[in-house]
Amino acid sequence: MYYLESNRLQLIPLNTQQLQLHASDYEALQQSLGLIPRPMLMEEYFRNEFDDALINYWLPETAANASNYKWFTNWLIVHKSDNCVAGGIGVAGMPNDQGETEIGYGIDQDYRRQGMATEALESLVNWVFQHSFSKAIIAHTLIDASNSQRVLERAGFERISEENGLILWRKMKSN
């Protein structure tokens, strides 16, 4: 099984079959990965965003891009010492013609304000930038999402613009 590892976290990219199990029986998915099952505690807005991404993006895109599924999926953020899921993170596909892709993440309410989002973000950013065709990563946050904004700032993202209630952030690959 492929994964990324940091001090406290393991990031596991879910393939199509794992995403299907996630959609039908989240507890069984966690057990299949040797994790201690627990429900994800998130606000309704983020739960709805996640469910929409699972059904309308991750499942069809990982099926269509099996050899590059890591670019089109949710990576589980696993807290190693607790052996359970602490959140999810992922990029929105292969970089475009300008070498840019978008990243998004969500952390379980019980694991917030512990630096885990920053640690997971830095790990996945490093993975993205290991690919020569990757030049930049963007992210969007709600204007009132100050915690997510601090995560992006700590990970070296720059605030680019503000439009329609969202802030655009970008991190360029170092040469």
The full DSSP string for 88-151 is EEEESSS--TTSEEEEEEEE-GGGTTSSHHHHHHHHHHHHHHTSTT--EEEEEEETT-HHHHHH
Q: Which residue has the tokens 């993170």?
A: 89
Q: Fold for domain 4-134?
A: Aminopeptidase (3.40.630)
User: What residues are paired with 163 via a beta bridge?
Assistant: 166
Amino acid identity for residue 135 in this structure: K
- Domain extents in the chain: 4-134
pLDDT at 136: 98
**Residues whose CB falls within 8 Å of the CB of residue 107, separated by 6 or more in sequence, listed in order:** 77, 86, 87, 116, 117, 120
User: What residues are paired with 167 via a beta bridge?
Assistant: 141, 162
pTM for this model (two decimals) = 0.95
pLDDT at 146: 87
Rg from Cα positions in the chain: 15
pLDDT in tens, the chain (175 residues): 999 999 999 999 999 999 999 999 999 999 999 999 999 999 898 889 999 999 999 999 999 999 999 999 999 999 999 999 999 999 999 999 999 999 999 999 999 999 999 999 999 999 999 999 999 999 999 898 888 999 999 999 999 999 999 999 999 999 7
